[in-house]
Amino acid sequence: MPLGLLGKKLGHTRVYNSQGVITPVTVVLAGPNRVLQVKTQAGKDGYNAVQLGFDDQKDHRVSKPLIGHIKKHNGASVKRIKEFRNFSKEVKAGDVVGVNLFAPGDFIDAIGVTKGRGFEGVVKRHRFAGGDSTHGAKGWHRRSGAIGQRLFPGTVQRGLRMPGHMGQVQRTTQNLEVIQVREAENLLLIKGSIPGPEGDYVVIRESKKRPKGWKPPVSLAPMKKKAAAEKKPEAKAEAKK
């Protein structure tokens, strides 16, 4: 996880570029993040990592062990702490990092906890089709059907899709493009949607599949079309001969 920030999902809006093209974006408050601790391979921790804290908190609302850990590194109480391994930016305890870690055109991965949906049936949870609405199908409109496999083996298979709790799980959305970086307001405008409800905390990290400087592969389709168009007149001329 080379670069990353803790943030808060604020909502959704849309922006226009210089050509008037509209882009739907998610607004994320991604700073300031304070460096609470720096771990090194040569130290007692045995690996390289940076601990970041986000969103100030009152001391009496933080556990005493956590307060002791933060005060040991001369930090202030925060609501969220996240550790990023192999942080590519040189920092030290007490530094402040913000949205300037990213630039427009960079790609990021957004990690969040999805909205909780409560207890749901198989139609909503697993997109089952449900039973017939006619032909005497009484009471089977939104049910899953038989699950016992008759006499043998006569048990329910492990992992069978059934009704249950839906949502409220950690999910990662990859390869989202940063459209705008508003450093004065500590805001990132990211193209697309991010897991979780508005006001929830999210982790913004540098994309694993599309790191800084990534460019899309060159497509050979236009070149093939151009070559085919050049060959057509030659083929027609030979056919006339």
Alpha carbons 16 and 13: distance in angstroms, whole number: 11
Beta pairing partners, 197: none
Alpha carbons 44 and 21: distance in angstroms, whole number: 52
**Torsion 166-167-173-179 (CA) sign:** positive
Query: pLDDT digit string (tens) for 144-191?
Result: 888 888 888 888 889 999 999 999 999 999 999 999 999 999 999 999
State yes or no: cis peptide before 32, omega within 30 of 0.
Answer: yes
Alpha carbons 41 and 49: distance in angstroms, whole number: 9
166 or 214: whose pLDDT is higher?
166
Beta pairing partners, 15: 23
Predicted confidence (pLDDT) at residue 134 exceeds the cutoff of 80? yes
Secondary structure letter of residue 114 according to DSSP: P
Predicted confidence (pLDDT) at residue 130 exceeds the cutoff of 90? no
Query: pLDDT digit string (tens) for 13-51?
Result: 999 988 899 999 999 999 899 999 999 998 888 999 999
Question: Are the beta carbons of 66 and 83 closer than 8 angstroms?
Answer: no
**Torsion 204-198-169-147 (CA) sign:** negative
Please state the pTM of the whole predicted model.
Answer: 0.80
For the chain, the domains span 4-115+169-240, 116-167
Fold designation for 4-115+169-240? Elongation Factor Tu (Ef-tu); domain 3 (2.40.30)
Q: Which range has highest mean pLDDT (104-108, 149-153, 208-212)?
A: 104-108
Confidence of residue 74 (pLDDT cuts 50, 70, 90): confident
| Cα-based angle 172, 173, 179 (whole degrees, multiple of 5) | 135
User: What pLDDT does 217 receive?
Assistant: 79
